[in-house]
Amino acid sequence: MQASRSLLTASISLCALIGLWGVIDPAGLLAIASTIVDQYFVSRGWFVMLSVTLMLLFCLGLTFTKFGDIRLGADTDRPEYPTPTWIAMLFAAGMGVGLLFWAVAEPLTHYHFAREVFPAPIAAEQALLAANFNWGIHAWAIYGTTALAIAYFSYRRGTPMLVSAPVKNLFPGERWAIIVGWFSDFMAIAAIAIGVAGSVAMGVFQVADGISVLFGSQTAGPVLIGAVFLVMIAAYIPPLLVDLGSGMARLSNIAMILAIALVGYTIVLGPSEYLMNSIIGGIGTYISVVIPRGLQTFTFYGNEANMWFRDWTLTYMVWWIAWGPFVGVFVARISKGRTIREFVLGVLIGPTLFSTIWFGAFGGVGLYETLNGNGELLAMTQTSVERMTFALFDRLPFATLTTLVTVLAAFLFIVTSVVSAAFVLGTFSTGGDPNPSVRVRVIWGGLLGVLGAAMILSGSLQAVKKLIALGALPFVFITVLLFACLVRALLQDAKRKPTHADR
């Protein structure tokens, strides 16, 4: 009990301090974050890529071994959710508003860089590959490993759904394990809070720009951004006052349906043949290089390529690690009854396939225009990336309707993410309570708002990415620790005889 109280106090204090610092002195916070993150990426980028790739190989390897038959729960348990619903929930939790924001902007930003090195067709192919890689199977390997560790120990060994549970279970009563466990939960809270706050900032930027597009304004001013931020807080506070139930799940499903409708609309009403070729070609290129690309650090390509690698791929990998404990707990909760093989294949393949279709469609439209002489979207990568998705829809029929749908989907993704994150943060900070008190949930909702405000005041998306990376850096090592604990537990349990609880 004392440990839980100290964790709650320490974590709330840290997040409040960072949030207030960001509100009072955003430039100072950004300068320190940039210095720390840049130095870490220079010295430890290889470690991040090696760790993430090993997690991917481990998860894939499980599907070919006897461990793949192990059920997350008792052997008689069966999945609570149908597989399509389960995969949709995975995707909504793990990606959400980020894909809406970067749908067009990221492939074209990569193209802007790659065209200085490659001929235009190869630059376009490499740009799409980079986006698919950053949002692809390596991200889901991070989520999958974290979720599998939490789910395995929770459902097979009866531990609470905490990041600290695996190490405490494997080394019961050890003082070092208690200290490491406390620190793991503490850093998980920091990573979740800062990571979700970054998504809040991106969501506010995109919703504000969508509204400004609807009203014919050239930019979203600070008044509109502030108003959207306050409306978003007003929308997510009430759900924190009640239990997290079917209402939030329904909102998440609606957002996912809207996202699927948007990508289908783009393929059908855009240059369909070109986009289908883009999607299929993008999937083929991605599959052919996905494992080697995970170990590529661009050492010999010069300083500019190294900067690109750190600012994009490394930042994304650390970003997914920041979301790892949040998504991990959520995925663990909805995956009881599935075998490890079902779990791994569903977590890795389903969302990754959707991401490649997404970028193949939206990025394909942007590349189609650029390669055919219309450089307007490409120019926007240097001025207003937050508006690029809306600019694309201006080129297709029913632009007003699709803009409204995009704004609504972004808003719903953010609200559901913040509410879910507040519940998970409450669970972590109270020692594993699955239903933290209203007071704790509202406190975390308020702190996420303060952190989100700090991100918005930082003034740029690059600053948001740096701050998210700062929050996640310590959790890189904790993710590796969870990975090691899961391997040890699987080997231990393989040697012992089944008990009545396993049957």
Tell me the pTM: 0.86
Of 426 and 146, which is predicted with more confidence? 146
Q: Give the 3-state secondary structure of residue 339.
A: strand
Residue closest to 344 by CA, chosen among 486, 149, 141: 141
Residue 409 CA to residue 101 CA, distance in Å, equals 11
User: Looking at residue 501, what is its pLDDT?
Assistant: 46
Q: How confident is the model at residue 238 (pLDDT cuts 50, 70, 90)?
A: confident
Residue 456 has pLDDT above 90, yes or no: no
Read off the tokens for 271. Answer: 């240059």
Distances 213 to 380, 385, 389 between C-alpha atoms, Å:
15, 14, 11
Across the chain, what does the average pLDDT equal?
83
User: Looking at residue 325, what is its pLDDT?
Assistant: 82
pLDDT digits (tens, 9 = 90+) for 134-146: 999 999 999 999 9
User: Looking at residue 376, what is its pLDDT?
Assistant: 87
Q: Which of 85-94, 185-194, 252-261 has the lowest mean pLDDT?
A: 85-94
Residue 503 has pLDDT above 80, yes or no: no
Read off the tokens for 401. Answer: 């309707």
Q: Which of 48-52, 246-250, 479-483 has the lowest mean pLDDT?
A: 246-250
pLDDT digits (tens, 9 = 90+) for 155-180: 999 898 888 899 999 998 888 888 88
Residue 306 has pLDDT above 70, yes or no: yes
Of 458 and 190, which is predicted with more confidence? 190
Dihedral (CA of 176, 178, 184, 187) sign: negative
Residue 99 has pLDDT above 50, yes or no: yes
Of 235 and 71, which is predicted with more confidence? 71
User: Looking at residue 364, what is its pLDDT?
Assistant: 93
State in Å, rounded, how far the first CA of the chain is from the last one.
33
pLDDT digits (tens, 9 = 90+) for 13-34: 777 777 777 777 777 777 887 7
User: Looking at residue 277, what is its pLDDT?
Assistant: 94
Task: Count Cβ atoms below 10 Å from residue 377 Cβ, excluding itself.
Answer: 21
3-state secondary structure 51-115: HHHHHHHHHHHHCCCHHHHCECCCCCCCCCCCHHHHHHHHHHHHCCHHHHHHCCHHHHHHHHHHC
What mean pLDDT is predicted for residues 53-68?
Answer: 92
What are the structural domains, with CATH classification, of the chain?
2-493 (1.20.1740.10)
User: Looking at residue 390, what is its pLDDT?
Assistant: 87
User: Looking at residue 245, what is its pLDDT?
Assistant: 52
Q: How confident is the model at residue 434 (pLDDT cuts 50, 70, 90)?
A: low
Of 16 and 376, which is predicted with more confidence? 376
Query: Do 348 and 144 meet the contact criterion of CB atoms below 8 Å apart?
Result: yes
Residue 75 has pLDDT above 50, yes or no: yes
For 71, list phi and psi in degrees, rounded to 5: -95, 140
> Tokens 């690109």 label which residue?
308
Per the DSSP assignment, residues forming a β-bridge with 339 are 71
